[in-house]
Amino acid sequence: MKKLIITCAVTGAEVTKEQNPAVPYTVAEIASSAYQAYLAGAAIIHLHARDDDGKPTQNKDRYEKIIKAIKEKAEDVIIQVSTGGAVGMSRDERLTPIVLNPEMATLDCGTLNFGGDEIFINTENDIIYFSKALETRNIFKELECFEKGHIDSVLRLVKKGYINRPLHFSFVLGTNGGMSGEERDFMFMKDSIPKDATYSVAGVGKFEMPLARCAIIEGGHVRVGLEDNLYIEKGKLASSNRELVERVVLMAKESGREIASPAEARFILGMRKQI
Ligand code: KMH
Ligand code: ZN
């Protein structure tokens, strides 16, 4: 089996310090949390930016400062900027950080309810617009799919030439409004993508660790982090992103799966031809 690529989603746009004081906001906090996750085994950092008070922002300068601070310590780590941003942001606001030409970025592949009155909007034209923006800059796409219909949309857009290979999916399961995160949901998702595609799974909340285990066993890859889940176990807050990554590394060890370095992750995903 291929080595396991661990992505750490360090802060996101929705979770708060009130929910878990370990959620990083400032440049220094996000960079330090990302570095600790990298030391524990994360090859990819899924990055959102926040203002010092925690408000989500897609501001270019803020991303630039965070990326610089991460790279100062973890030079080879893969930075994956979010183009999802936060609910309510416009297309172009969401795309702002790609002007920094990061190695990787998310491409959200469908609209979904996001709890209460919130809708995370990704129309077909949005997806085409985002895909073109990323491909023009040669930024590697992670195709975020929150339910099976999103995979179907991707495959339709691949056929029409709007999304090009390599196809690397992220199944984000267990959101409030998306597909649930039971093992059968994961199996359905992974069996629905082309054979030459790769995938990572991000289980939200209580689904994080059980789905990480499934992906480890099935040869997929894993995303964990405070963006997706605030707890290390039922009723016990995670002390850091690092602790969540360490838990995955332990599970991988138990299953005999080695952890991919950033260089190995680039090769496995087809971002580079050689390690
Ligand atoms: N914060 C969500 C609205 C992504 O990073 O691309 C979107 C999100 C997905 O987190
Ligand atoms: Zn995100």
Residue-wise pLDDT for 3-47, tens only, equals: 999 999 999 999 999 999 999 999 999 999 999 999 999 999 999
CA of 256 to the centre of ligand 1 (A): 32
Closest residue to atom 10 of ligand 1, CA basis: 84
Q: Do residues 26 and 34 touch, judged by C-beta distance below 8 A?
A: no
By C-alpha distance, which of 240, 244, 185, 243 is closest to 211? 185
pLDDT at residue 275, rounded to an integer = 84
What's the token pair of residue 188? Answer: 């359905």
CB atoms < 10 A from the CB of 204, how many?
19
CA of 114, nearest ligand number: 1
pLDDT of residue 273: 87
Report how far ligand 1's centroid is from the alpha carbon of 55 (Å): 14
Alpha carbon distance 143, 150 (integer Å): 9
Q: Residue 106 CA: which ligand 1 atom is closest?
A: 6
Q: Which residues contact 58 (CB under 8 A, 6 or more apart)?
A: 49, 85, 89, 93, 94, 95, 96, 97
Nearest CA to ligand 1 atom 3: 86
Query: What pLDDT does residue 170 have?
Result: 98
- Supply the pLDDT for residue 269: 98
CA dihedral 175, 178, 184, 186 (to 10 degrees): -70
Name the closest ligand to CA 8. Answer: 2
User: How far apart are the C-alpha atoms of 59 and 81, rounded to whole Å?
Assistant: 12
Distance 12 CA to ligand 1 centre (A): 7
Q: Of ligand 1's atoms, which has the minimum distance to the CA of residue 144?
A: 6
Q: CA 25 to CA 69: how far, in whole Å?
A: 14
| Closest ligand, as measured to the CA of 108 | 1
Distances, alpha carbon 68 to alpha carbons 40, 233, 242, in Å: 20, 33, 20
Residue 223 CA to residue 69 CA, distance in Å, equals 22
How much is the pLDDT for 146?
Answer: 98
| pLDDT tens-digit readout, 135-169 | 999 999 999 999 999 999 999 999 999 999 999 99
Distance CA 134, CA 163 (A): 10
Cα–Cα dist 6/212, whole Å: 10
Query: What is the position in ligand 1's atom list of the atom closest to the CA of 48?
Result: 5
Alpha carbon distance 171, 223 (integer Å):
9
Rg of the chain on CA atoms, in Å: 17
* Ligand 1 centroid, distance to 255 Cα (angstroms): 30
Residue list, ligand 1 pocket, CB within 6 Å: 12-14, 82-84, 86-87, 106, 108, 120, 144
Backbone angles phi, psi at 180, to 5 degrees: -70, 175
Tens-digit pLDDT string for the chain (275 aa): 999 999 999 999 999 999 999 999 999 999 999 999 999 999 999 999 999 999 999 999 999 999 999 999 999 999 999 999 999 999 999 999 999 999 999 999 999 999 999 999 999 999 999 999 999 999 999 999 999 999 999 999 999 999 999 999 999 999 999 999 999 999 999 999 999 999 999 999 999 999 999 999 999 999 999 999 999 999 999 999 999 999 999 999 999 999 999 999 999 999 998 88
What separation in Å is there between the alpha carbon of 254 and the centre of ligand 1? Answer: 31
Tell which residue, 20, 14, 168, has the closest CA to residue 89.
Answer: 14
Closest residue CA from atom 6 of ligand 1 = 84
| Helices assigned H by DSSP within the chain | 27-40, 60-73, 91-95, 124-136, 148-159, 183-190, 208-218, 241-254, 262-269
Q: What's the 3 CA to ligand 2 centre distance in angstroms?
A: 24
Nearest-atom index, ligand 1, CA of 108:
6
Residue nearest (by alpha carbon) to ligand 1 atom 7: 84
Give the three-state DSSP class for 177.
Answer: coil
